[in-house]
């Protein structure tokens, strides 16, 4: 008889044991979900940073390709835009020598948070989300900078883009590159 009683007592769990097991399970699940959410937040911040950097790099590359064949470039006083001219090309796609303006006014400028290329009556957006504040300095910056001197054959282009913080904090990308102009008989500030 005593053996039968021992089996009854050892075959079940007490209320204290069940509550302890449930508490430990909830604690482990809470720790796992917290780690998952922290990792997801870091991943989203990194993804936003990559997106902002890529957008800025693509904009600088586009501006660089556009300006390489310019023959006359005028940078705005505030550095937020520039006007430029292309030389005429012959029927085979070669530049006419001496360079002569093709008559189409062209401009690249920051307008309403976007970098916009205007060629004659047509416009297209080169980059969206252009920020007016440089994250390194915390102040406004010049998108286009021409060095001092009588004949300038280069322009520094800096783009800072900003991505919204829907899923993570706002991310910013910053790219700066010097563009060397090939067909420059004239460049003014």
Instruction: Tell which wins on pLDDT, 165 or 182.
Output: 182
Token pair belonging to 154: 């280069």
Q: Decide: 84 and 108 in contact? Cβ < 8 Å.
A: yes
Average pLDDT over all residues of the chain: 83
Strand pairing class (144-145; 154-163) = antiparallel
* 166 has a pLDDT exceeding 60: no
| Triad 172, 45, 112: Cα angle to 5° | 30
| C-alpha 142, offset from chain centre | 16
| C-alpha 185, offset from chain centre | 33
Numbers of helices and strands, H then E, in the chain: 2, 9
Lowest mean pLDDT among 101-105, 136-140, 149-153, 157-161: 149-153
The model's confidence at residue 189, banded by pLDDT at 50, 70 and 90, is very low
- What ranges do the domains of the chain cover? 10-188
Q: Decide: 176 and 145 in contact? Cβ < 8 Å.
A: no
* 142 has a pLDDT exceeding 90: yes
Cα separation values, 3 from 8, 11, 13, 33, 167, Å: 9, 12, 18, 45, 62
pLDDT digits (tens, 9 = 90+) for 82-110: 999 888 888 888 888 887 888 899 999 99
């Amino acid at each position: 008889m005593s053996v039968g009683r021992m089996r009854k007592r050892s075959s079940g769990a007490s209320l204290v044991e069940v509550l302890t097991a449930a508490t430990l399970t909830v604690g482990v699940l809470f720790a796992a979900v917290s780690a998952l959410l922290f990792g997801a937040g870091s991943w989203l911040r990194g993804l936003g940073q990559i997106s902002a950097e890529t957008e800025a790099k693509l904009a600088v590359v586009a501006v660089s390709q556009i300006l390489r064949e310019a023959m006359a470039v005028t940078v705005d006083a505030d550095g937020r835009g520039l006007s430029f001219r292309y030389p005429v090309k012959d029927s085979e796609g070669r530049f006419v020598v001496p360079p002569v303006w093709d008559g189409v006014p062209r401009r690249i400028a920051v307008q309403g948070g976007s970098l916009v290329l205007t060629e004659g009556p047509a416009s297209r957006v080169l980059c969206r989300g252009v920020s007016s504040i440089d994250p390194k300095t915390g102040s406004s910056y010049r998108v286009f900078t021409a060095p001092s001197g009588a004949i300038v054959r280069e322009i520094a282009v800096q783009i800072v883009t900003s991505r919204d913080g829907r899923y993570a904090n706002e991310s910013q990308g910053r790219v700066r590159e010097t563009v060397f102009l090939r067909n420059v008989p004239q460049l003014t500030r």
